[in-house]
Structure 1
């Protein structure tokens, strides 16, 4: 299974692609790519949203995932920031929907618990565990790309657990 993870942000939107490799005795998770879409503050919000949409669309076309995993909206003290983040999420969801890709959404606590084992883990802990789980030679940079990989890993863990549970019934 190939999963495209997206960590939405108003300044940097991270993305990451992972595959599950079932060819050996143990299932491995393999990193195919990760990166970040850096948005210029000097551009208007519509221009930045268009850039996120076009960039994610190009990456989805390039990597041909089976599913897109994205972080759920979290509640913020600053309503204006939450609204802008929601708009970025909207164009990310649109990019996936236009390719008729299923979308799985995960709460931040679930993502961190799945990858680190602790729902309140710090960004550095997420980066470290993502590097370990994917056997990367160095920490994924920027942290937003590591978060996107963590979201994709969370989806693979969830899918494997559900498949295992269904097999036991």
Structure 2
């Protein structure tokens, strides 16, 4: 396309976590969204932190090789009350940002309120509202875990932001 945006954009949405990282793949073309796949990556809590981070990276690299996204979108995490939990989550988030970057895939980040606003229309929506809207916006999607639904919501948010950016570039 003349504006540099692909006609079909495949987005990998990621909801980072050390124990469970949600992922979702969608395709966006103009105003249409299509569910491709979703799931979670779980790491074994019995393993040492480096092994868990390596397992997370390996699983994400496999997802990227399988689904071949054009871009990735990651939800920004909030600061926890427990400093150790926050640090571990930050390390997992670093791996989640690194995996697509190493594959040469552009990575965008979105705050949870921006994701909720893009999907539900309100930045302080409840998780159940987000999950219900994901199912409405992506017919046929039935994520089995909340983390996967959250990842799909991040992908939807990114697709909406990219569509807006494309329209602005085409504006006179």
What is the TM-score normalised by the length of structure 1? 0.92
Query: Are 2:26 and 1:18 aligned?
Result: yes
Match for residue 112 of structure 1? 116
Q: Deviations over 1:38-60 (max 9, x none)?
A: 22221221111111100000000
Q: Deviations over 1:70-89 (max 9, x none)?
A: 01232222221111111111
Shift of 1:119: 1.1
Match for residue 79 of structure 1? 83
Q: Unaligned stretches of 5+ in structure 2?
A: 1-8
Distance in 2, matches of 1:39 and 1:54, equals: 11
Query: Are 2:148 and 1:145 aligned?
Result: yes
What's the Cα RMSD here? Answer: 1.3
User: Which residue of 44, 48, 60 maps to 2:48?
Assistant: 44
Q: Deviations over 1:92-124 (max 9, x none)?
A: 122111111110000010001100111111221
Distance in 2, matches of 1:124 and 1:9, equals: 19
Q: Secondary structure at the match of 2:108?
A: strand
Query: Are 2:156 and 1:164 aligned?
Result: no
Match for residue 2 of structure 1? 10
Query: Are 2:68 and 1:60 aligned?
Result: no
Shift of 1:136: 2.3
Q: Secondary structure at the match of 2:121?
A: coil
Match for residue 132 of structure 1? 136
Deviation above 6 Å: which 4+ runs of structure 1? none
Distance in 2, matches of 1:6 and 1:118, equals: 20
What is the TM-score normalised by the length of structure 2? 0.90
Match for residue 39 of structure 2? 35
